[in-house]
Amino acid sequence: MTRRVWVVGVGAVTPLGATWVDSVAALAAGEIAIGPVTRFDVTGFPSTVAATIEPVGAGDRRLLLARTAAAEAWTQAAIDVPAARIGIFVGAEAGRPDFATVVAVSRAGGNVAALAPLAARIGRGATSPGAVASMLAAMTGAHGPVETSSLACASSAAAIAEAGRCIRSGECDVALAGGVGADVDQLMLASFGLLGALSARGVSCPFDVQRDGFVLGEGAAFVVLAREPRGAIAELAGIGRTMDAYRLTAPEPEGAGAARAMQSALADAGLDAVDYVQTHGTSTPLNDAAEAHALHRVFGRALDRARVASVKGAIGHAIAGAGALGFLCAVEAVARGTLLPTAGLAHPDPLCALPHVVGTAAYASAASALVNSFAFGGANVSLAVRSM
């Protein structure tokens, strides 16, 4: 018999709150965290806005944000199982030193004396994706399986999926899973801008007719999953993962891979429909249209009875942390009946006709929810969540 997977703790740090509790209150009220970037000089950049978290302290921002979010979830869960039965699953990408350090290193060349003062700054920032998981294992004392998923925007959703599978298979009894995105820096702001992926208007408005790109955000979100339902607030009921194998920077236009991921998650959960969908909804013309098409393809008329939203309108796109943040929104829907809205959506695109939650949160009983994460490169992850 397949083991069920229970959500027993949640935590997050976002541009709208230092905890998930604070973040939910702000998101429900329709607050928007996007504003001018002040951390570094953005003169001449293709985009000059982001949703940032200030301050977080010195060092690798991924580690700092992840530790805060994971600690909230871990404390809530109050786990008491052997260390060898606890796993750590993280969605993260490589850390980077600040731009000034990169410039200083390049100018130093092979001069050991000039490089020595920079060593600490390099070590704090230029860490591998796996450093986050190692830090969290040390924080929790976990000695079980560990894995880092680095799949761009689908990273943390993939980490939660793998954690669920390991609990189902019996490889571990408890898993701390989620991810972190800390990409508001010169390199990412310039790179995504040159790709044409960022909003020239500086507005994140998923599914809006005026959408013209996403806005970078940052944040971390973690859940504690367990095989025992003690203290559970929701169930991770279904997992779906697919690949577009189409283009590196564009989704398959008809959303075929996205649809298959959703269908797999629903089938895994034994569901035909859901009450709430927390979409990937990046505010880019191609992604939103493909996802809307996929949603209609999967749910048909049953979609009319659901509510749909994207948290990225309020807190931007946290890349590797985005899927876990979306997962927490889905848990909020089924656990407390809080259907968080899409901020910035003022003129819905007829090509993305969906039953949107706009303005402020809607409050209604939700027995089930789906969260989507669709990444650069075509990786798709859908997770189904069910109420207790």
Active site residues: 153, 280, 317
Residue with token string 């998981």 = 133
Q: CA geometry: angle at 16 spanning 15 and 20, to 5°?
A: 105
Structure-block tokens of residue 193? 């801008």
Host H or E run for residue 338: strand 338-339
- Length, in residues, of the chain: 388
Gap between the terminal Cα atoms of the chain? 19
Tell which residue, 52, 27, 26, has the closest CA to residue 219.
52
d(CA 122, CA 28): 39
Tell which residue, 337, 374, 321, has the closest CA to residue 160.
321
- 3 state DSSP class of 207: coil
Structure-block tokens of residue 294? 């996929």
Cα distances from 172 to residues 71, 82, 262, 325, in angstroms, run 20, 10, 26, 23
